[in-house]
Amino acid sequence: MESTTKKCFVCQRETYKDNSELNLDVNLPVCTNCKGTKMEKEKVLELLDSLADGFVCGCI
């Protein structure tokens, strides 16, 4: 369990309390470099898409 080390879900760099925020759409930490960028939005859509796919697969 690596609950103490969190990574920015956009750039995969380690984040710390003072240089990151929680993205409430996906409930994952995002560093201040990526916060509010186009990349962040694309990654959010990607993650939400893959979650949706998982639900679709359960219907078979």
Q: Which range binds Zn ion by CB under 5 A, 11-19, 21-29, 42-50, 51-59?
A: 11-19
Residue 10 found at the interface with Zn ion (CB under 5 A): yes
Q: Measure the CA–CA gap between 21 and 34, rounded to whole angstroms.
A: 10
Applying the rule CB under 5 A, the residues between 24 and 43 that interact with Zn ion are 31, 34
Q: Is the dihedral of CA 13, 16, 18, 20 positive or negative?
A: positive
Residue number with CB closer to Zn ion (37 or 53): 37
* Angle ∠(7,13,40) on CA atoms, nearest 5: 80
Interacting residues toward Zn ion by CB under 5 A: 8, 10-11, 31, 34
